[in-house]
Structure 1
Amino acid sequence: MIRADNVTKHYHIGKSTKVVFTDLNFALSKGESVGICGANGAGKSTLLRLLAGVEKPTRGRVTRSMLTSWPLGLSSCFQSSLTGADNARFISRIYKRDERELLDFVDDFAQLGAYLYQPVSTYSAGMQARLAFGISLAIEFECYLVDEVTGAGDERFRARSEEALHTRRKSASLIMTSHDPGTLRAYTTRGAVLYGGTLVLYDSIEEACDVHHRLQLRGMS
């Protein structure tokens, strides 16, 4: 299970404070899938980083009893002066996975070719996302966090990504953010809307997408 208890996140920017969200409370059980809707700047990516443990809340607590991925596509965890292969080897040691098997999977899946053995600093944003996605899928996590990553790469890579996610979804939990309601409907069953610093959970992704759409129309009027 992943639990968020009274989670608040603020950022201090100069002399001002940006409040992302306040007192979020929710729980995700093993096997569940939740799609998170929200406008640009609502805090979707920030929330995933908190759930992954990449960032800490300003207040409150996130508890994880499942082996949880970092947000798929997040490349800031890489050491840019190292090669993609070296980063993959390092992560394999952290998670106690066979280095050769993990690297072979990443090589086949990300299809970076010779760039896999070049410094990550030479990668485009899309290449970094492919590397992060490949390494994430090489490890059997119990919960996958997905942040718009299915848009990375060409059509063939996106198709492989979608197929791999559907396969993982059969045996793992999933928390996904996306601007595309169709993507959320394809991968998740429950929904949540992040709006105005609060998170509201819904029993179905359809209801969450509908609420999000109406809130966006209200904001445009």
Structure 2
Amino acid sequence: MIKLQNLTKYYPSELGNQYIFKDVNFEIPEGHNVGILGSNGSGKSTLFRILAGSEYPNKGKVVTDKAISWPVALATGIHPQMTGRENTRFIGRVNGVADLDEYEEKVKAFAELGVKYDLPVRTYSSGMRSRLAFGCCIAIDFEIYLIDEATSVGDQKFRKKARQALLDKSKTANVIMVSHEIKEIEEFCDSAIILHQGELTFYPDLQEAIAVYKLL
């Protein structure tokens, strides 16, 4: 269960507060892989950041009893002075991973960092940081994975592996995805939420949602 309760989000401007959401009450249905659709400026990314806990509403709250990932492939929480291995252990502890040694090795193998796993993250390229973050996230069994353009990480070979890992997860857990690529939404999702003029509408039929979205 993920509920938005009296959710209000605005950004101050010279013309006054610009509202993205105002007193929104909405429940994201369980058991679905959900794409978030909407025209530019509708609030897709804002909603995603609020769900991820990386941005806070001005009023109201998100209530959930689910274990939700941070946005897959986003290097939030990766400390540049720590090594890849140290970051992995820290993230594992924070998320209650029982076997940290096993978790370490899973992340190392998936991220394909080799000996650089034991070097400080500040020496990594942006692609290496993203692969580390992706590996740390995908190696934990969350109930819901937040996916934001995640399959653009790394080179073509790694992107293929990342896409398959997410598809595998989507069979045993649920995903909430923001993507500008309709084909990617169709690949991962079975339903959608459309954001329009501050209102959220859930469509259990993905193709119906896409048809409505294209008319916005």
TM-score normalised by L of structure 1: 0.86
Q: Secondary structure at the match of 1:170?
A: helix
Contact 1:31 1:171 in 2 (8 A): no
Q: How many residues align?
A: 215
Aligned CA RMSD, in angstroms, stands at 2.2
Partner of residue 36, structure 1: 36
Deviations 1:43-102, CA, capped at 9 Å, x for gaps: 323322211223321111101111111111221222222222211110111122122111
Q: 2-side partners of 1:71 and 1:164: how far apart?
A: 15
Deviation at 1:106, TM superposition (A): 1.0
Shift in alpha-carbon separation, 1:24–1:207, aligned structure 2, 3 A: farther
Partner of residue 158, structure 2: 157
Q: 2-side partners of 1:13 and 1:134: how far apart?
A: 39
Q: 1-side partners of 2:8 and 2:124: how far apart?
A: 34
Contact 1:191 1:207 in 2 (8 A): no
Q: 1-side partners of 2:156 and 2:3: how far apart?
A: 35
Alignment of structure 1 residues 62-211 onto 2, 5 Å: 62-97=62-97, 98-211=99-212
Q: Secondary structure at the match of 1:61?
A: strand
Shift in alpha-carbon separation, 1:212–1:89, aligned structure 2, 3 A: same
Partner of residue 59, structure 2: 59
Q: 2-side partners of 1:13 and 1:118: how far apart?
A: 44
Partner of residue 218, structure 1: none
TM-score normalised by L of structure 2: 0.88
Gaps of 5+ in 2: none
Shift in alpha-carbon separation, 1:119–1:159, aligned structure 2, 3 A: same
Shift in alpha-carbon separation, 1:110–1:14, aligned structure 2, 3 A: farther
Q: 1-side partners of 2:148 and 2:3: how far apart?
A: 19
Deviation at 1:40, TM superposition (A): 4.6
